[in-house]
Amino acid sequence: MNNKMNELIHDRKSVHVLYPYNGMEKYIEQAVRFIQDGIAAGECVIFIENDRMYPIIYKELSTVATKEQLKFLHHVNNFDFYYSSGSYHPPSITNYFNEMVQPYVEGQVSFRSWAHVEWATMKDPLHLIEEFERVVDGAVNLLSFPLICAYDGDKMPDHLRTMLMETHPYILMEDDVILSEQYQHLV
């Protein structure tokens, strides 16, 4: 990642970041750095990514990480993750996530997560995305782990961008991390 992101993760641990990426080359570069930095910090990395992009990222990562280091990487297909119940259903996604991280939590193993959020269309009910992002924000703080939520910035309508700025305290803008002025922490 970048020094500012690493400092933020090191200092706070509970970090929920929106990454509205533009272009796959930069996306891959950021994902590889996030994984590398997690492995270097001795953390397991839960990487929620589609089956199209994962081999590309893994190939890039394998040029800078050993096979031993790559054992810290846990890939989860993002379609399976978000649509485990057959539709985008926040309670099912939350249950899937809780089951996935339970061994890390019980074993007191540090972890970080990257989630590539994407849809075939923007017709999915955006209120469900907002509901889920608010639940995730609470989980990040409760379980104390860093999470980057990557959304294709070119495909985000303004109302989705606004909602995401309200549900993420931090925004990764290429090589800088900024505070979201729109963030609304709900208790």
For the chain, the domains span 3-179
Q: Is the pLDDT of residue 150 over 90?
A: yes
Question: To which residue do tokens 């057959």 refer?
Answer: 86
Q: Mean per-residue pLDDT for 45-53?
A: 96
What is the C-alpha separation between 107 and 95, in angstroms, rounded?
A: 19
Is the pLDDT confidence value at 171 over 60? yes
Topology of domain 3-179, CATH: Rossmann fold (3.40.50)
What does the alpha-carbon distance between residue 136 and residue 172 come to, in Å, rounded to a whole number? 17
Phi, psi of 119 (to 5 degrees): -135, 160
Tell me the C-alpha distance between 38 and 111, whole Å.
8
Give the pLDDT of residue 27: 95
Neighbours of 169 (CB within 10 A): 21
Residue 124: the pLDDT is 57
Q: How far is Cα 147 from Cα 140, in angstroms, rounded to an integer?
A: 7
- Least confident range from 22-31, 91-100, 166-175: namely 91-100
Dist. CA 27–CA 19, nearest whole Å: 9
Residue 153 near residue 86, CB atoms below 8 Å? no
Angle between helices 158-167 and 126-143 (to 10 degrees): 20
pTM, two decimals, is 0.91
As given in the structure block, the two tokens for residue 101 are 């991280």
| pLDDT value of residue 149 | 95
